[in-house]
Amino acid sequence: MNKVALVTGGSRGIGLGVAQALAREGFDLGICGVRSESAAAEAMATLRALGCDVFYIQADVSIRTDRERLVSQIKGHFGRLNALVNNAGVAPTVRADILEATEESFERLVKINLQGPYFLTQAVANWMILQKAALPSFTGCIINVSSISSTVASITRGDYCITKAGVSMATKLFAARLGEYDLPVYEIRPGIIKTDMTNAVTTKYDKLIDEGLLIQGRWGLPADVGRAVAMLARGDLAYSTGQVIMVDGGMTVKRV
């Protein structure tokens, strides 16, 4: 019986790269996103071509009833869940200086990037505890995809940075709480990754990369993040709960 992973925001960008890596590891997949099933159909076909069972659920993680329905439908379809990958997230619609940014943008990002995954983790963790009690050989983990913005300040994206810093603390909190159940919790911090979210700043980062911003002088790819998630979901770092994996091309390494 294949293990099952739920990847939020798994039909595009980093999430799709994660889902592809997990499919290649033999996981069956629950994928959620805000797009309709028809809009996500091409991505789902790509995943099914890798030989896994893929179940798509249109859901917004910022909405409590959507989260409840998401977990319920995963239970109904698979009957089990071994890995939750909290990947869904958004950037601010307008990059605004923190002296001018709006409360509406702040509230939107908090609900989607932080509150949603926090309470989805709560629901899934409680289910994993029950699975572990019913079957002692059960293995599960939770993987949070945050960002280098959890520690690297960007004054035109203050709301984004604060939500990602919150995800970092949520990782520590859930790791501490779930240790007694041997359910590890990890965080992956991607750097500059080539996705539709970064399309608008391609020219800016092309220039910075050319000027030596990164130790490894290229854009990161969704597949780079996917390989890191697959390593954790396989259990390769089973004795490292609460740890952070940097996937940033060396951007945050201090240099002189």
Q: What is the mean pLDDT of the chain?
A: 97
Across 156-160, average pLDDT: 97
Q: Is the pTM of this model over 0.75?
A: yes
**Active-site residue, 160 included:** yes
Q: Where does 152-201 have alpha helices with state H?
A: 158-178
Return the pLDDT at 199.
83
What is the tens place of the pLDDT at every residue in 10-45? Answer: 999 999 999 999 999 999 999 999 999 999 999 999
**Active-site residue, 164 included:** yes
Q: What residues have CB less than 8 Å from 135, skipping those under 6 apart?
A: none
Q: What residues have CB less than 8 Å from 69, skipping those under 6 apart?
A: 57, 59
Q: Which of 3, 56, 118, 160 is catalytic?
A: 160
Helix H, strand E, coil C: the string for 100-135 is CCCHHHHHHHHHHHHHHHHHHHHHHHHHHHHHHHHC
Name the pLDDT band for 198 (thresholds 50, 70, 90): confident
What is the tens place of the pLDDT at every residue in 209-244? Answer: 999 999 999 999 999 999 999 999 999 999 999 999
| CATH of span 4-247 | 3.40.50.720
Phi then psi dihedrals of residue 56, to 5 deg: -100, 135
Return the SS3 of 99: coil
How is residue 224 written in tokens? 């780079």
Q: Closest Cα to residue 120, out of 81, 148, 157, 92?
A: 81
Q: What is the DSSP letter of 193?
A: B
d(CA 172, CA 158): 22
Q: Provide the residue ranges of all domains of the chain, joining segments of one domain with +.
A: 4-247
Q: Which of 75, 164, 207, 239 is catalytic?
A: 164
Return the pLDDT at 197.
80
